[in-house]
Amino acid sequence: MQGASGSLPPLVSSYLGFAETNSGSVLTKAGLDLGAAPSGGVKKWILIGAHSRVYATIDDVTVGGVSASQFAVYQGSEQMFWAIVESSLTSADVVVDYASNSEKHGFGVWSILAGSGVDMTLNADLVQNGTDNHSIFVPEGGACFSTLFVDGGSTASYTAGLTTRFTNTFGGSNERSAGGSDDFAVEQNNLTVSVSGSSDSLSTISFGPKGFE
C-alpha cells in the first residue's frame, strides 16, 4: 500500500486530553482546548479513540454538539472505537454516549491538521487485535494513533513505534488504559507498535495526507 501522489502538506497532529470513568453511560470531557481555528486552506479534524471494559456499544460521539463519524469498532476482550469529525472550534465539550450503563469507559482526543483536499473519514488504515504488538502502514507525511486496554497488568504504555500520550488506572485497580501517537515525515511500510505487558485490546489507526491507493 503506498501513499498517493500529490502536493498536500503533511498531517500535523496534537494530543488534546483524555477522560475516564469507573461506571456510567455518558462520559464528558468538558471545555477541552481544541487548539487554534484552522486557516490558510487547512482543515482541523478531531479524532476520538474510545474503549469500554465490557461489550457496550456507543450511541453517539459529539464534539461541541456535532456528531462524529464512527468508522471503526473492535470487539475483543474490550470494545475499542474510533470516531472523527471536522471542526473549527477552539474549545468544546467532547461527549461519548454509551448504549448502556457499564464500567471502565475511557477515551483519548487528538486534533489533526490536514490540507483542505483531505477527507479524513475516507483516509485510514486500521489494525486491531488483542495482543501486545502489531504492525501498520503509515504513509509519508502521515500520522498514527493507538489506544490500548490492559486487564491485570502493572503498567500500560507504548514501548516501541509510538510515543505514550496518556496512561490511566481505573479506581486503583489493575485495569489500565493508554494512548499513543506520532507524526511521520517518512513512510513507515511496517511500523511495529508494541506496548508494555500483555494488552487485552490494542487498536491502532493511521492516516495519510494524500489518501491510499
Report the pLDDT value the prediction gives residue 139, as an integer from 0 to 100. Answer: 87
- For residue 193, the one-letter residue type is V
Report the pLDDT value the prediction gives residue 186, as an integer from 0 to 100. Answer: 94
- For residue 174, the one-letter residue type is N
Coil, helix or strand at residue 131 = coil
pLDDT mean across residues, the chain: 83
Grid cell in block for residue 108: 483519548
CA 96 – CA 83 distance, rounded (Å) = 10
Q: What DSSP line would sit under 99-111, residue for residue?
A: EEEEEEEEEEEEE
Name the β-bridge partners of 40: none
Grid cell in block for residue 181: 501517537
Residue 119 predicted with pLDDT over 50: yes
CA 33 – CA 46 distance, rounded (Å) = 11
Domain boundaries, the chain: 12-207
Helices (H) and strands (E) in the chain, counts: 0, 15
Task: Read off the pLDDT of residues 140-183 as tens digits, 9 standing for 90 and up.
Answer: 899 999 998 877 767 788 999 999 999 888 766 677 888 999 99
Task: Read off the pLDDT of residues 27-81 as tens digits, 9 standing for 90 and up.
Answer: 999 999 999 999 988 999 999 998 877 666 788 999 999 999 887 776 666 678 8
CA 203 – CA 30 distance, rounded (Å) = 25
